[in-house]
Amino acid sequence: MSFFTDKTILVTGGTGSIGSEVVRQLLAFKPKAIRVLSRDEHKQYLLERELGTQVQEHVRYLLGDVRDYQRMLRAMEGVDFVFHCAAYKHVPFCEYNSFEAVKTNVIGTQNVIDAAIAQGVGRVLLISTDKAASPSNVMGATKLLAEKMMTSAMHFAGPRPIRFASVRFGNVLASRGSVLPLFCKQIEQGGPVTVTDPKMIRFFMSIPQAVSLLFRAMERMEGGELFILKMPVLRLGDMIDVLIEELAPRYGRQSTVIRQQVIGARPGEKMEEILMTAEEAQHATEEQDMFVVHSQIVIPGEQQIKRKLGVSSNACDSSKIQPLTKEQIRTLLSDVLIEYFRLARLPS
């Protein structure tokens, strides 16, 4: 028996890269029902085709938007757990369409909170981003506010038996809108491979790693926490070099003739990123593969657990972590590329 067995689970943004993988992996735990909510009927159709008829009795496909409170209220009837994956995540688009990002990432999150409380949901988990740590762009700022709202929802809910928490990801390899599919396409076309700055350092994780963290966070949340997976860092230029070496022959091209083209940082981008601020580190505990930032908000009716708080924020600062070597990047990308080509229906 799994924590998710015989449970009814709602996944907002359920046809996205993370949301759809949550759905796939949840099926193995034999839930009572999975409700896949998203705005895009074509992606719903593709996911339905992929999963096949054998899971029809367990999966429900719901068209809707987290901006619509009434839709969220109906979608959460009888739901036990919510994975809140829906968001605008593309940094430049959020910079140029800032209030649209607010309406989805902030107001949409409040709709999720309100509907979950009204319908007696047991647990709600928000998917956030490392760009929420000391944000320099609209997307990061809206996700930081969404994190804060999830934490304060523990107080907002009063004595109701509901738990809210957040998970903060780095860059997810091969997810929609990530750089990996773009780089692969550019290599297929013979280059150049466009890079904002080859010296940029980023945290990276695979989609299966991301979903594994989500499941663990959902099971163990006490309420108000922020879960942060420990992740390796790499230089974008090094990753592109490895991709060119690995993929050019697959596309019948010479790796030596495909070049990188530096196009400069986009609006809101940083050279380095952090997963956790120094202030958050003061209220965190460290585990083998993650950090847990504990809420400072007093939760009604809950006895505060005494913990030894405080970790070094250096372990969450990409500028202070040794980047992966090219051989380590090659190993990291091997399984990711197989999955990418599977999803793209290309030979691996």
CA atoms within 13 A on the CB side of 247: 29
Q: 38: closest CA among 50, 48, 28?
A: 48
Q: Domain for residue 339, yes or no?
A: no
**Domain residue limits at 15:** 8-172+205-230+270-317
Q: Domain for residue 250, yes or no?
A: no
Counting the structural domains of the chain, the total is 1
Q: Domain for residue 281, yes or no?
A: yes
Indicate yes or no: pTM above 0.85: yes
- CA-CA distances (angstroms) from residue 227 to 129, 207, 220? 11, 16, 10
- Residue 339 is predicted with a pLDDT of 63
Using CA atoms in the order 108, 109, 113, 116, what is the torsion angle rounded to 10 degrees? 60
- Residue 174 is predicted with a pLDDT of 67
- Catalytically active residues are 131
Instruction: CATH number of the domain at 139, please.
Output: 3.40.50.720
- Residue 112 is predicted with a pLDDT of 98
The conformation of residue 57, written as its DSSP 8-state character, comes to T
Q: Domain for residue 283, yes or no?
A: yes
Q: Domain for residue 178, yes or no?
A: no
The position carrying tokens 């009572």 is 32
In tens digits, what is the pLDDT along the chain, a chain of 348 residues?
589 999 999 999 999 989 999 999 999 999 999 999 999 999 999 999 988 877 778 899 999 999 999 999 999 999 999 999 999 998 889 999 999 999 999 999 999 999 999 999 999 999 998 899 989 899 999 999 999 999 999 988 887 889 999 999 878 776 666 778 888 889 989 989 998 888 988 888 888 888 888 999 999 999 999 999 888 888 999 999 999 998 898 888 888 889 999 988 877 777 888 888 889 989 999 888 889 999 887 766 565 666 777 888 777 888 888 899 999 988 888 877 766 666 555 443
- Residue 44 is predicted with a pLDDT of 93
User: DSSP secondary structure string, 213-268?
Assistant: HHHHHHHH--SS-EEEE---EEEHHHHHHHHHHHHTGGGT--GGG--EEE--PPTT
- Residue 212 is predicted with a pLDDT of 85
Q: Domain for residue 40, yes or no?
A: yes
Q: Domain for residue 236, yes or no?
A: no
- Residue 347 is predicted with a pLDDT of 43
The conformation of residue 149, written as its DSSP 8-state character, comes to H
